[in-house]
């Protein structure tokens, strides 16, 4: 099938392209103009033609997400879903917005099978998981013993067993400290019984990512998330990276100072300046938007501490091998001083970090807001007048703790396309995605500009996935299933016998019990996971 | 050649039985799908069918699973996985007589602490649990020395685990235990370990949640998923005459077979008395075909590979998908 999309403004920053033009698709790929008549043609004058959106950090599957669903039945009946929609709806709503790939960023290896099975059932989009290590005893033992090669083998074995695209570490050492009755844990605190600091864990895991050649840098959820004054931890963490690649997830949640009468303020300008000055650092924002949501995190220490703020007043804390997790429902309120500061802080980060290749568009779904808030957030970034209207509705005392009213920047289409398409594909190591060049996978979103920018983003005019027209104005045109992505770095098979012995001693089970068998998640006999090459 | 299916007790090929099942569900005013034993793939397929047929869905063992869930979703809880309990617990309280003994070997990740394993069971269990919670809460009460020692051990532990089965103790007792665990976490660490129920109810609950956002006892009667633990109790619906056609997937027939028009997806080993209207023979998960099942020892879903997969007996998931297809044909021809 030969398809021509013509008449629209094609914005493809990976190729410096921004102008009216054509995109040709044959089967699943973008091709050069073939000199033949197309089988079908889409005339889209006035529309914006982008590659499909890629979300690098949304909690959409796995045992913790499912617990969030089970915790809140009163917010699930009917059309409601309180930040944790069922899989079918996740696929539909993302695709309607023009997103064609989503990364679930926090899956412990022991529950990877469930996550992959859930993801396999999500229609329309491609997906991937990040595998979590850094709070597990074996990781501590190997680092303490200076066994860097064995640590890399262990991580590679975990990635292979889980089918993961990269490594995430969550408050490294913090969950281990929680087990030992800690109530707080910072970058240079020592993990009880492990004799290691969080800083040492981060550096060791950065080394693993580099040694294995994983395209995606270490994906870090920092210490002290959500606490006043935690900007110092984030700044120290950036310095601790010592120039090596590091991705800081949901930066907004560690951008707080202690200024003002309520000892809570935005420290986004300081942190944005530090990010701007550190080309090795990438970040996603984790924007807060107002409304009911549910926080889902494997930072069990932080979630334990947040129980008192649960709304509705209930929670689930799971203590598990590695990280565990906590589910705490929460309602962000526009008139609440703290929530308003958080909202402004996120926007400041978006507007003060200069390079759209290094700042990524997330709400840490659903922790800052459900992903269904993306259209409103994109509109806020592109329209300073709209921002001014929102600003006028938040408490003045909150506004005084931020610089947001002074910021006049508006994102343009190339910046939006970079931040939500080209940059994520590059960050994840997916060369055939995030752009519209020849050979690209034909994942394409076409938006029809209108006065209400949020409405434009909520339902793309047309969305193509793998060359198929899957959505038109929010209506599914063809049911389609994507695939999962994983890296498969090699490792010394000697790690298998060490793991077998360790698991037998500590857990009394085989370490292979948790592996994701391809047959467990295959659809229609197709290979469910596509390999992403590692860097040489 | 093996028998693939039965209609009114007479052997037929699978296809007409699938068509008959689709017809029966399509013609039903209030169809119900009930899991006896079911793997996660079958649960996904059953929920697709339930949505298409505007049917309700329940699991035979849902009552106990929902008793645990009710405590979590009404008040919240702190729980632990079985593997983490094995690795770290230095104090284990077994509640009731249903839960199995816990190894008293020292926790491998903190062996110097040793491990104390205690059991609270027998007469007046509820009253004694109440007293224990009061002791932990620091209330000035008199309790027998054994109970006081138990409370002291929980307080002194670094990482205590309280293990119960909702099949045995009532929801109020679970709530008491969770309240006690919450109090203990003011000063130390303590977590609950609910025993997962039989017949993969934990796995089916997970699949139901990712498919619908809700646990079993879910209905699509109004075109969208709704959950009601009392109204959608399958046994109650059958006995009360509310369900007119039931599709059952299990190792054997349900206890209420004979009280309702019944389509059964069962293995050839099932005892077929009373004879259901339609029987479609189905593979056993993890034995005749690969399956995803909740492993209670691991506290996670795992892939169970069939040693000798059967090419002749399809898994329930395939038959359920075929019935969904047959139903769609029924609806299209209306």
| Neighbouring-strand partners of residue A197 | A190
Beta partners for A50? A445
Distance from CA of A119 to the nearest CA of B (A): 10
Upstream peptide bond of B274 is cis (omega within 30 degrees of 0)? yes
Chain A residues 104-163 with CB within 8 Å of chain B: 110-111, 113-114, 117-118, 121, 137
Cα distance between residue A324 and residue A63, in whole Å: 10
CB atoms within 10 A of CB A383: 15
Interval A239-253: pLDDT, tens? 999 999 999 999 999
Main-chain phi, psi angles of A400, to 5 degrees: -65, -15
- How many Å from the N-terminal Cα to the C-terminal Cα in chain A? 36
pLDDT at B332: 58
Compute CA distances B137 → A32, B131, B144, B182, B183, whole Å: 73, 10, 16, 10, 7
pLDDT of residue A536: 75
CA distance A72 to chain B (A): 6
B220 preceded by cis ω (within 30°)? no
Q: Does A235 touch chain B (CB under 8 A)?
A: no
Q: Does A244 touch chain B (CB under 8 A)?
A: no
DSSP A420: I
d(CA B282, CA B291): 13
CATH class for the domain made up of B5-61+199-333: alpha beta
**B38 contacts: CB under 8 Å, gap ≥ 6:** B46, B59, B199, B200, B204, B249, B250, B285, B316
Q: How far apart are CA B204 and CA B38, in angstroms?
A: 7
Task: Give the C-alpha separation, B57 to B318, whole Å.
Answer: 18
CA angle A458, A461, A463 (to 5 degrees): 90
Q: What confidence score (pLDDT) does residue B333 get?
A: 52
Cis, peptide link before residue A13, omega less than 30° from 0: no
What ranges do the domains of chain A cover?
Answer: 51-429+436-457
The Cα–Cα gap between A276 and A525 comes to 46
* Bridge partners for B59 per DSSP: B35
Torsion angle of C-alpha atoms A327, A241, A269, A415, degrees rounded to 10:
-80
Rounded-to-integer distance, Cα A325 and Cα A115, Å: 14
Contact A89, B275 (CB under 8 A): no
Four-CA torsion A72, A78, A80, A82, nearest 10 degrees: 10
Check CB contact of B108 with chain A, cutoff 8 Å. yes
The closest of A454, A313, A434 to A373, measured between CA atoms, is: A454
B295 within 8 A of B301, measured Cβ to Cβ: yes
**By C-alpha distance, which of A457, A435, A437 is closest to A448?**
A457
Alpha-carbon gap, residue B327 to B333, rounded angstroms: 10
Beta bridge partners of A40: A3
- Could you tell me if B156 lies within 8 Å of chain A, comparing CB atoms? no
B105/A contact by beta carbon, under 8 A: no
The runs of H, that is alpha helices, within chain B are 14-27, 40-53, 62-75, 82-88, 125-136, 145-156, 171-184, 201-212, 234-239, 316-333
User: How far, in Å, CA of A505 to CA of A497, rounded?
Assistant: 12
Whether domain A51-429+436-457 has CATH 3.30.465.10: the reply is no
Looking at the complex, does the CB of residue B81 fall below 8 Å from at least one CB of chain A? yes
Q: Which parts of chain A sit beneath pLDDT 50?
A: none
**How far apart, in whole angstroms, are the C-alpha atoms of residue B218 and residue A86?**
14
Nearest to A314 among B73, B80, B226 (CB): B73
d(CA A235, CA A95): 36
Task: Tell me how far CA of residue A343 lies from CA of A282, A305, A338, A393, B81, in angstroms.
Answer: 20, 21, 9, 12, 36
Residue B161 vs residues B72, B116, B127: alpha-carbon distances, Å:
17, 10, 20
Q: Where are the beta strands (DSSP E) in A240-312?
A: 246-248, 256-257, 265-266, 281-284, 291-297
- Output the pLDDT for position B334: 45
Other beta carbons within 10 angstroms of residue B113's beta carbon come to 16
Query: Which residues neighbour A448 within 8 Å (Cβ) at sequence distance 6 or greater?
Result: A44, A46, A47, A48, A456, A461
The pair phi, psi for residue A104, each rounded to 5°, is -85, 115
Instruction: Pick from B213, B216, B222, B231 the residue to mutate for testing the A interface (most A CBs within 10 Å).
Output: B213
Q: What is the pLDDT of residue A78?
A: 60
DSSP assignment of B37-49 equals S--HHHHHHHHHH
The number of angstroms, rounded, from the C-alpha of B165 to the middle of its chain's C-alpha atoms is 12
Nearest CA in chain A to B203: A114
Element (H, E) at B301: strand B300-304
Strand partners of residue B58: B34
Whether the ipTM is more than 0.95: the answer is yes
Block means of pLDDT (10 residues each) for chain B, 334 residues, are: 93 98 97 97 98 98 97 96 98 97 97 98 95 96 93 98 97 96 98 97 98 97 95 98 98 96 97 97 96 97 94 95 91 54
Gap between the Cα atoms of A47 and A60, Å rounded: 30
Q: In this complex, do A86 and B185 lie within 8 Å of one another by their Cβ atoms?
A: no
Domain ranges of chain B: 5-61+199-333, 66-194
């Amino acid at each position: 099938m030969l398809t021509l999309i013509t008449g629209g403004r094609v914005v493809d920053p990976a190729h410096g392209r921004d102008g009216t033009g054509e995109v040709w698709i044959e089967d699943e790929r973008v091709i050069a103009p073939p000199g033949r008549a197309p089988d079908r043609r889409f005339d889209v004058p006035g529309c914006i033609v982008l590659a499909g959106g890629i979300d690098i950090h949304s909690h959409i599957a796995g045992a913790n997400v499912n617990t969030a669903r089970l915790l809140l039945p009163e917010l699930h009946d009917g059309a409601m879903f309180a930040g944790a929609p069922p899989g079918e709806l996740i696929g539909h709503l993302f695709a309607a917005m023009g997103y064609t790939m989503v990364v679930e960023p926090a899956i412990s290896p022991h529950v990877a099978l469930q996550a992959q099975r859930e993801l396999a059932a999500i229609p329309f989009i491609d997906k991937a998981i990040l595998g979590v290590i850094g709070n597990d005893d074996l990781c501590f033992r190997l680092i303490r013993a200076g066994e860097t090669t064995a640590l890399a083998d262990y991580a590679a074995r975990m990635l292979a067993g889980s089918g993961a695209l990269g490594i995430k570490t969550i408050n490294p050492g913090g969950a281990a400290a929680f087990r030992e009755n800690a109530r707080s844990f910072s970058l240079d605190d020592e993990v009880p019984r492990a004799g290691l600091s969080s800083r040492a864990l981060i550096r060791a895991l950065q080394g693993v990512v580099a040694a294995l050649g994983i395209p995606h840098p270490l994906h870090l959820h920092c210490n002290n998330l959500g606490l006043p004054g935690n900007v110092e931890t984030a700044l120290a963490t950036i310095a601790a990276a010592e120039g090596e690649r590091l991705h800081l997830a949901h930066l907004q949640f560690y951008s707080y100072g202690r200024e003002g009468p309520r000892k809570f303020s935005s420290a986004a300008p300081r942190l944005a300046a530090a990010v701007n000055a550190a080309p090795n650092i990438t970040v996603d924002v984790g924007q807060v938007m107002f409304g009911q949501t549910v926080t889902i995190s494997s930072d069990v220490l932080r979630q334990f501490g947040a129980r008192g703020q649960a709304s509705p007043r209930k929670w689930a804390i799971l203590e598990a091998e590695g990280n565990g997790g906590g589910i705490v429902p929460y309602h962000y309120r526009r008139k609440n001083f703290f929530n308003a500061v958080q909202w402004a802080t996120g926007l400041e980060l978006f507007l003060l970090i200069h390079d759209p290749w290094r700042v990524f568009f997330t709400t840490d779904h659903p922790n800052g807001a459900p992903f269904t808030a993306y259209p409103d957030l994109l509109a806020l970034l592109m329209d300073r007048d709209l921002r001014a209207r929102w600003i006028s509705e938040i408490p003045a005392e909150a506004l005084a703790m931020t610089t947001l009213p002074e910021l006049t920047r508006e994102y343009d289409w190339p910046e939006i396309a970079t931040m939500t398409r080209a940059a994520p594909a590059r960050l994840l190591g997916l060369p055939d995605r995030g752009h519209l060049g020849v050979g690209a996978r034909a994942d394409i979103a076409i938006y029809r500009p209108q006065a209400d920018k949020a409405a434009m983003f909520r339902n793309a005019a047309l969305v193509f996935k793998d060359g198929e027209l899957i959505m038109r104005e929010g209506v599914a045109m063809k049911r389609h299933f994507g695939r999962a992505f994983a890296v498969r770095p090699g490792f010394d098979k000697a790690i298998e016998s060490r793991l077998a012995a360790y698991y037998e001693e500590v857990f009394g089970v085989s370490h292979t019990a948790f592996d994701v068998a391809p047959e467990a998640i295959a659809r229609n006999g197709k290979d469910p996971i596509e390999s992403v090459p590692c860097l040489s | 050649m093996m028998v693939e299916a039965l209609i009114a007790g007479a052997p037929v090929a699978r296809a007409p039985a699938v068509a008959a099942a689709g017809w029966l569900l399509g013609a039903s005013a209030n169809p119900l799908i009930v899991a006896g034993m079911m793997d996660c793939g079958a649960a996904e397929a059953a929920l697709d069918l339930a949505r298409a047929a505007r049917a309700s869905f329940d699991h035979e063992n849902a009552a106990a699973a929902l008793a645990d869930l009710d405590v979590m979703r009404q008040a919240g809880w702190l729980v632990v996985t079985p593997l983490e309990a094995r690795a770290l617990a230095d104090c284990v309280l077994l509640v009731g007589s249903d839960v199995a003994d816990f190894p008293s070997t020292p926790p491998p990740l903190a062996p110097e602490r040793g491990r104390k394993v205690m059991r609270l069971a027998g007469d007046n269990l509820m009253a004694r649990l109440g007293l224990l919670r009061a002791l932990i809460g620091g209330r000035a009460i008199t309790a027998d020395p054994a109970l006081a020692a138990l409370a002291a051990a929980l307080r002194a532990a670094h990482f205590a685990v309280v293990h119960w089965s909702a099949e045995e103790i009532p929801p109020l007792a679970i709530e008491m235990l969770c309240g006690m665990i919450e109090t203990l976490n003011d000063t130390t660490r303590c977590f609950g370990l609910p025993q997962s129920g039989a017949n993969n109810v934990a796995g089916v609950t997970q699949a139901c949640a990712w498919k619908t956002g809700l646990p079993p006892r879910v209905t699509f009667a109004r075109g969208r998923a709704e959950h009601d633990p009392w109204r959608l109790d399958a046994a109650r619906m059958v006995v009360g005459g509310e369900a007119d056609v039931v599709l059952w997937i299990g190792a054997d027939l349900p206890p209420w077979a004979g009280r309702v028009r019944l389509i059964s997806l069962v293995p050839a080993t099932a005892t077929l008395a009373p004879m259901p209207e339609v029987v479609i023979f189905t593979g056993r998960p993890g034995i005749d075909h690969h399956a995803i099942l909740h492993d209670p020892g691991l506290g996670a879903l795992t892939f169970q590979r069939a040693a000798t997969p059967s090419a002749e007996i399809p898994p329930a998931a395939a038959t359920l998908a075929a019935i969904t297809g047959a139903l769609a044909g029924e609806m299209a021809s209306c």
